[in-house]
Amino acid sequence: MQWIFMIYFVAINLAYLILNYISAYQIVRYMREYRANYLPPGLRDYQPPVSIVLPAHNEEKSVVASVHSLLKTNYPEFEIVVVNDGSSDRTRQALIEAFGLVRVPEAYRARLRTEQVRGVYASAQYPRVRMVDKANGGKSDAINAGINCVRYPLFCVVDADCILQPESLSRVVRPFLEDGRVVASGGVVRVLNGCTVANGMMAKVGLPNQWLPSFQVIEYLRAFLFGRMGWSPMNALLIISGAFGVFYKERVIAIGGYRNDTVGEDMDLIVRLHRNLRKEKRDYRIVFVPDPVCWTEVPADVASLSNQRVRWQRGLAESLWSNIGLMFNRRGGAAGWVAFPFMLLFEFLGPIIEVIGYVSMIVLTLAGLVTLKVFLVFLAAAIGMGMLLSVNAMLLEELSFGLYAKPSQQLRLFVVAVLENFGYRQMNSCWRFYGTLLWLFGLRKRYRWGHIHRDGSWHQEQEEAATMTPDLHADGSSNP
C-alpha cells in the first residue's frame, strides 16, 4: 500500500511537471511573438463580429458593472446579449434602469430548446445591448437562449460577475483569424477580489486581504497558465472556462448546444466538440490563449467555496463518464489518448487516492505499521511537489505578464504559494472527494445555478469613479 501511494504521487506530480515545462516554453514563445501588439491598427476593422452572451441569475450586485465593462471593449463590431434567467432579485430591473431597456417585438428563432422566453429588450441609448428575459432553467439553458438570439457567427460566453480588459476580446478572437480550423478559444480567468473596478474599467489590480481568495489566486494561476496552456499545443484541451470563451456558433448548435443535465456544462461542451469533430473526421483546433484576461470574484467564505468545488468535481465526473467513448478511440488523437486518461486518472481519481493516502499513512503510522521516517518522506514528497508547482506558476506569471508588479505583492504571493500546501490543498481534496461520492451515489442531482456569496466590494460607485485614475493601460498592462 505504501508503494502504491508513493508511485501514484510521483506519477501525478511528474505529469504536472511535464505540463509545466510545456506551458513555460509556450508562454515564453507567445510573449515573444505578441507582447508588442497583436494586430496592426489598420487590420482591426477586419476582425469578425462577435456576440457576447452574458447569462445572469440573481446578479444585481455585479451585472451592471459587467455590462459597462464589456461596452468599453476595444473591438470594432460586437453585441451584448444579457440573459436574465428568472432572477428573483432586482437583476432584471437593474438592467432596465441602467441601460434604458424596453421590450421590443423581435423575432426569436428557437434553434435550441430552452425554458419559456418572456421577452426581448433593447436600448436606444446603448444599441449594442439587448436582454432576453426567460423562465429559470439553469446556466446551460440561459446560454442556449442567448445562442438562439445572437446575430453573429462567433459568440463569447462571459459570466455576469466578470470584468474584461479592453483588449481581451480581440486577443481571444485572434486564433480564429490566424487559423480557419479553430472552433473554440479560451482565455485566462483571474481573481477579482482585492481589485478595484470603476465605471466598468479595472482601476487597480490588487490582491485579496483574506486568505481563502488569496489561495485561489495561486490556484487559478496554476490551473490556467500551466494546466490549460500545456494541453493547447497538442489540441488536447478538454475545458474552456465557462467564465470566458469564444465559440463558432454553428458548430455548437450542431451538437445540440449546452447540456442541461450536468453541472459541468463548460467542460462537457468541449469534450463533446472533440468527440463529434473527430467522429466526422474534421480538421479542427480548440485553443487556449494566455493573455486575454477575464477577472471574476471568487468565494471568500468556506461554505461557498466548498459548494463550488463539489459542483466542479461532479461536473468533471459527468463530463468524463458521459463522453467515455473518446478515451482510446482510434480517432481520438491526443485528446482521447493523452488528455482524457490524464483527467480520469489524476483529476477524477486524484482526490480519492490523495485523501485515502493521507488517512491511511496517518493510521498506519499511528499503528506502528509504517515508520515515522517513511511517513515524513511521503509528506515531504506530497507537500514539496505541491509547493514547487505553485511557486513555478507564480514565477512564470511575474516573468511573463507581471500584473502583480509590486514587491509586496510578489512576497505575499510567494507566502501564499507555500502556505496553501498546509491545509488548503488537503481541504480542497476533501471537498472534491465528497463531490465524487455525491456523483457515484447519484445524490444532489439538481442542475441549476451554483450560488456563492458575493460582496461586490471591488465595484466602485459611479460618482467615486471620476476621482480615480486607472493604473492599467488600454492593453491591460500595468503602469511602471
Does any domain span residue 473? no
Here the cell at position 480 is 511602471
Cα–Cα dist 453/29, whole Å:
39
Residue 219 belongs to some domain of the structure: yes
Asked if the structure places residue 424 within a domain, the reply is no
Please report whether residue 27 resides in a domain.
yes
The answer to the question of residue 354 being in a domain is no
Concatenated DSSP letters of 49-105: PEEEEEEESS-TTTHHHHHHHHHT---SSEEEEEEEES-SSSHHHHHHHHHTEEEE-
DSSP per position, 390-404: HHHHHHHHHHHT-SS
Q: What is the pTM of this model?
A: 0.88
Residue 325 lies in a domain: yes
Question: What is the C-alpha separation between 413 and 303, in angstroms, rounded?
Answer: 24
**Which range is least confidently modeled, 93-97, 99-103, 197-201?**
197-201
Please, which pLDDT band fits residue 454 given cuts at 50, 70 and 90? low
pLDDT tens across 278-317, in order?
999 999 999 999 887 899 989 999 999 999 999 999 999 9
**DSSP, res 474:** T
292 found inside a domain: yes
∠155-312-183 over CA atoms, to 5°?
A: 25
Query: 286, 293, 169, 291: which is closest to 239 by C-alpha?
Result: 286
The pLDDT value recorded for residue 457 is 59
Strands 182-191 and 244-248, bridge-based pairing = antiparallel
CATH of the domain at 194: 3.90.550.10
364-380, pLDDT tens digit by residue?
888 888 788 878 887 88
In a domain, 480, yes or no: no
Q: pLDDT tier at 469 (50, 70, 90 boundaries)?
A: very low
Evaluate if residue 357 carries a pLDDT over 50.
yes
Q: Are the beta carbons of 330 and 275 closer than 8 angstroms?
A: no
Average pLDDT taken over every residue of the chain = 86
- Helices (H), ranges, 72-209: 91-99, 139-149, 168-178
The per-residue pLDDT for 444 is 61
Q: Is the pLDDT of residue 478 over 60?
A: no
Backbone angles phi, psi at 159, to 5 degrees: -65, 150
Q: What's the CA gap between 300 and 310, in Å, rounded? A: 16
Range of the structural domain that residue 319 is part of: 9-349+448-465
Over residues 103-113, mean pLDDT: 88
Residue 184 is predicted with a pLDDT of: 97
Res 474: pLDDT: 36
Give percent of the chain above pLDDT 90: 53
Number of structural domains the chain divides into:
1
